[in-house]
Structure 1
Amino acid sequence: MRRLLAAPVGLRWVHLILGGALLMPYYLLASVVAGMIGAGDFTSLGVLLLIYAGALPIAALTALFPLVRPMSVAVVRAMCGVPGERLAEGPAGSWAARWRASAWWALHLGVGAVVSGVTLAVPPMGVVLLVLPFSTRLQRAELGLDWFSTGAPVYAAPFLGLLLLAALILCAAGAGALLARLAPVLLGPTAADRLAAAEERAADLAVRNRLARELHDAVGHALSAVTLQAVAARRVLDTDPEFVREALAAIEDTTRRTVGELDAVLGLLRDGDAARPDAAPAPGLHTDLEGLLARTRAAGTPVAERQDPGPAGSWERLPAIVSREAYRIVQEGLSNAMKHGGGPVELSITVQAAPGGQNTRELEISMTNPPAPAGTRADRTTGGRGLRGTAERAALLGGTVEAGPREGHWRLRAVLPLGAEPGTGRSGAADPAGGPR
């Protein structure tokens, strides 16, 4: 409310006069119609008011075009002091929004025409009354003001002139404040506008979250591995040159692969990049798991693994999206073990029957490692974003993730549904001849 009152009266006054000017084409059209039906004497006040009343519905009908609302919103935001967040963005997308914009258009033009007429008539009259005491009787008669005598009424005329000018200012200020109060009501977002804005924000947030997950898992894991390898190499630089050579080779291989993964991640942001023939394939269990385990071991973290693809016989028969998200979950778990763990990692990736029967399967990923000894645990600086990302990945596939202390160890367990067993003929089953459907 304070912002509405603090808006310059002059700008709102100009906004009203602009509305009066915009009404003139509609007023002329209504005058033509009135002349065709024989409305009578156009100098009559009643006829003029009739034409004015007929021009407003014509103006309202032309304001049903969707682009009228953004034009009105831009003018109101610039000249009426209405906060931008209270006004709708973009063209009117529904008939409810169009009718509200049409009502605003008719109100703006109608009130603006009245204020414009008063603005044209009152200032000259006020000036005349201000200088009336200095005029002769003949001049007053020529102006039609001979009812002022040469006595006290003549010297009261300037006060009447000032009163008229003050009334004009108050009228313009009141009309401007009225339009400013009604603008959010008629030009504000409708329920459909709010829903569209919420969907747009949700889509933008989903893209940002996806990019954050990919960058955290791909780049974060590589940086952790490179840091540990560099630290280990620095410690034995003078005593074990062969280990240093191996560490540098592992760092080179890790950074080269990470650059490729980073290019693939950034490609997710560009339309069509996923379909490029030369685009780097997304990492998955069947292509990149062994390399991931080798790099983790090279960084100094032992990994004891157990892999069981189940009836499929190979990770290649997993659905591509499950293979990709499972790889990222394993990558995040190993990255956390390298940064915060204190011993070997026990990794199990198995395909098993899901609880409840019905020939459904699920992929279970389980990782456990002992906590770091007291005084050697690295300080956590990532805020737990990786675990949140793994939970989001699993949730997108209808799975779950559990992470936390368990029997003196840290345990990460993820379950991803796979559908029916191969050869059952159920929805989501793998085709025996061609892999997963």
Structure 2
Amino acid sequence: MRGFARVLFGRRARLRWVHLILGGALAMPYVLVGATAVGPVTGSQDVLTDIWLQLLSFAVGLPLAAVTSLFPLTRPLEASAVRWLCGVDTDRLVHDPARGRAAKGRTAAWFTLHLGCGGVIAGMSLAVPPFAAVLIALPLVAWLDDGRLGLPEVLGHPWALALSPVVGAACLVALAGCAAAAGALLAHGAPRLLGPSPEDRLAAAEARAAGLAVRNRLARELHDSVGHALSAVTLQAGAARRVLDSDPEFVRAALAAIEDTARRTVGELDAVLGVLRDGDSPGTGPAPTLDADLDGLLRRVRAGGLRVTATVATDPAGLPPVLSREAYRIVQEGLSNALRHADGGARVALRITEARGHLDIAVDNPLGTPAPCRPGGGHGLRGIADRSRLLGGTAEAGPAADGTWRLRARLPLKGPVRPEGPV
């Protein structure tokens, strides 16, 4: 019994009732417009008092409501009302203006349904409670009447007086039941008429995918630039500390490399943060490339204690900008791994060659002592694989039988190069 009462008079049922009353209030101007057309056509002066003419005016006004629902703000306003009053989850509704014939048609159907059901329930809410109150109070009225109030003779029978309060209460329950059923109907139909269409879901999925791609790209850029810089600075500072008294020249070179690394990394960090601030627009500085920045990268890595042998059998200046940028990041990550995992003074071989329409990058370094695993680390090789795949190439890395760690990346010079934006 308590559950039945909650369905008819609970908070959700009351809010949905309010939603229906609002629909009835919105329907009133259209009913009045319909009445101005029904009166002259029928030749009646009782349009506002005759129940059948009122229903006819209501039927004429609903198509007008469907036409006016084509205004862009209709769907956002209706979706907000459905969310707060009908209890429909917001992710099942679209709060943007309807665009396209199908979306506008579904919005018009919803608006017509809302005003139609709301007009009926609002009319019942105005008429039924006074009638039910009279029936409930009829025994008292009959006792006070004593023939002076002119009640119909049928209401004077004892069985009529006994049943009238029950009938009045039943009318109120029936009104609540009709309101609850209409509210449930609207709540059930709202996601279908105000919810996302297949095109909306596809657009939302594409927007989420684009946002995820930007986040992944920023994560790769931060990992490759800032992560490399911190690794290089840490090793350079450690190497300088160990030979502070015995090799001042090396210390000065290490400090100069630390200064240069920090300055360049601040510029790259500004570029990445510029994307975060301004969307997908360029940052405050150009992205590093093989042509302009490979020599500086090698100098900074060598200042950290690695003995790098670099073989560049191609012209970096002739590479496409996107390929040059991504290739630089792959080389940078390969050398960063060597800095972190190879022992100090280890020999590292870097080869950048061009063959059969591809740019081949190879980094070989001794395995050395494994570096402690950092929480959240280990994304560098995944970033290399992502960059290679986006360029239509391949990448692989792992230990070799001769005790070295080998990184290989093969990138097409021409082909499905898909730039990710200027970072």
Structure 1 Cα separation of the partners of residues 140 and 183 of structure 2: 36
Superposed counterparts of 1:57-72, under 5 Å: 57-72=63-78
1:88 Cα offset (Å): 1.8
Task: State the one-letter code of the partner of 1:177.
Answer: A
Distance across 2 between alignment mates of 1:239 and 1:382: 38
Distance 1:339 1:292, change over 3 A: same
Cross-structure match for 1:112? 118
Describe the SS at the equivalent of 1:189. Answer: coil
What is residue 174 of structure 1 aligned with on the other side? 181
Distance in 1, Cα, partners of 2:321 & 2:98 = 42
Q: Which moved more, 1:203-212 or 1:15-24?
A: 203-212
Q: What is the correspondence of 1:178-217 to structure 2 with a 5 Å cutoff?
A: 178-217=185-224
In structure 1, C-alpha distance between the alignment counterparts of 2:389 and 2:148, rounded to whole Å: 89
1:389-427 Cα distance to aligned partner (Å, 9 max, x none): 22222223222222223334221111222239xxxxxxx
Change (3 A) 1:7 1:227: farther
Residue in 2 aligned with 1:348?
Answer: 351
Q: Aligned pair 1:305/2:310, yes or no?
A: yes
Match of 2:141 in 1: 135
Equivalent position amino acid for 2:389 in 1: A
Matching residue's letter, 2:387: R
Q: TM-score, normalised by structure 1?
A: 0.85
CA distance in structure 2 between the partners assigned to 1:36 and 1:180 by the alignment: 38
Residue aligning to 2:373: 379
Structure 2 Cα separation of the partners of residues 288 and 143 of structure 1 = 105
Query: Residues 151 and 273 from structure 1, CA distance in 2 versus in 1: closer, same or farther, beyond 3 angstroms?
Result: closer
CA contact (8 A) 2:224 2:329 kept: yes
3-state SS of paired residue (2:414): strand
Q: Distance in 2 between matches of 1:116 and 1:143?
A: 31
The residue aligned with 1:425 is none
Aligned Cα root-mean-square deviation (Å) = 2.6
Partner of residue 75, structure 1:
81
Which of 364, 370, 386 aligns to 1:368? It is: 364
Q: Which residue of 2 aligns with 1:323?
A: 324
1:282 CA drift (Å): 2.1
What displacement does 1:141 show?
7.6
Aligned partners of 1:325 and 1:393 also within 8 Å:
yes
The residue matched to 2:42 in structure 1 has which SS? coil
Counterpart pick for 2:238 among 231, 249, 260: 231
Q: Distance in 1 between matches of 2:376 and 2:232?
A: 15
Counterpart CA distance in 2 for 1:92 and 1:141 is 62
Q: In structure 2, do the counterparts of structure 1 residues 412 and 381 end up closer, same or farther at CA, with 3 Å as the change threshold?
A: farther
C-alpha displacement of 1:144: 5.3
In structure 2, relative to structure 1, the CA distance for the partners of 1:124 and 1:46 (3 Å cut) is: closer
Distance 1:139 1:106 in 2: 50
Stretch deviating more after TM superposition (40-49 or 72-81)? 40-49
1:115-162 deviation digits (Å, cap 9, x = unpaired): 001111111122222222222464888585552226343233222222
Asked whether 1:161 is paired with 2:168, we answer yes
**CA spacing shift, 1:14–1:175, aligned 2, 3 Å:** same
Shift of 1:265: 2.3
CA distance in 2, matches of 1:183, 1:417: 51
Match of 2:295 among 286, 290, 293: 290
SS of the residue corresponding to residue 8 of structure 1 reads helix
Whether the 8 Å contact between 1:7 and 1:81 is mirrored in structure 2 is: no
Gaps spanning 5+ residues in structure 1: where? 355-360, 421-427, 429-437
Matching of residue 418 in structure 1 with residue 374 in structure 2: no
Unpaired segments ≥5 residues, structure 2: 1-5, 418-423
How far 1:271 sits from its partner (Å)? 6.2
Q: Secondary structure, in 3 states, of the residue corresponding to 2:155?
A: coil
Residues 141 and 17 (structure 1), Cα distance of their counterparts in 2 relative to 1, 3 Å cut: farther
Q: 1:225, 1:295 within 8 Å by CA — same for their partners in 2? A: yes
Task: Check conservation: 2:395, 2:409, Cα contact below 8 A.
Answer: yes
What amino acid sits opposite 1:218 in the alignment?
Answer: S
Q: Which residue pairs with 1:433 in the alignment? A: none
Q: Structure 1 stretch 42-51 or stretch 191-200: which is displaced more?
A: 42-51
The count of aligned residue pairs is 402
Change (3 A) 1:44 1:280: closer
Q: Deviations over 1:222-272 (max 9, x none)?
A: 011112223333445566555444433322221111111111222334269
Change (3 A) 1:7 1:248: farther
C-alpha contact (below 8 Å) 1:403/1:411 kept by paired residues: yes
Partner of 1:280: 285
Q: What aligned pairs does 1:45-60 form with structure 2 within 5 A after superposition?
A: 45-60=51-66
Separation in structure 2 between the aligned mates of residue 252 and residue 297 of structure 1, nearest angstrom: 14
* Kept after mapping to 1: 8 A contact 2:257/2:299: no
Q: Which amino acid aligns with 2:368?
A: A
2:158 is matched with which residue: 119, 137, 151? Answer: 151
